[in-house]
Amino acid sequence: KNQVEQSPQSLIILEGKNCTLQCNYTVSPFSNLRWYKQDTGRGPVSLTIMTFSENTKSNGRYTATLDADTKQSSLHITASQLSDSASYICVVSAYGQNFVFGPGTRLSVLP
């Protein structure tokens, strides 16, 4: 069964600190992996998209990594800001199929 798991479920960090969020998936055959940021009560916003051949992708202070062999991805946030407080969702697509969403990691950045 295609599944996406994320850890931790929630995370609290202080402003300015770095953090790393994890995603494990069993989606097959793998096509691409996306990270989204979802503010409370809003639609998800795309951060990064990676295919099988890519093992890292950056978008400003966000850097995603992908290990297709171990079926793991991480999202690293550098120098966190209060506005980074949101849910971060890992989404995996298999060839010919639509997206499988992870449950998200809720990040809270405190001053």
Partner 1 sequence: EPEVTQTPSHQVTQMGQEVILRCVPISNHLYFYWYRQILGQKVEFLVSFYNNEISEKSEIFDDQFSVERPDGSNFTLKIRSTKLEDSAMYFCASSERFLAGEGTDTQYFGPGTRLTVL
CA dist 63 and 98 (Å) reads 24
H or E stretch including 41?
Answer: none
101 lies in the binding site for partner 1 (CB under 8 A): yes
Sign of CA dihedral 85, 43, 52, 3: positive
Would you give the binding string for partner 1 spanning residues 66-95, x where CB under 8 A is met? -----------------------x---x-x
Answer yes or no whether residue 62 interacts with partner 1 by CB under 8 A. Answer: no
What's the rounded Cα separation, in Å, for the pair 90 and 87? 10
Give 60 or 111: the residue with its C-beta nearer to partner 1.
60
Chain positions contacting partner 1, by CB under 8 A: 31-32, 34, 41-46, 49, 51, 89, 93, 95-99, 101-104
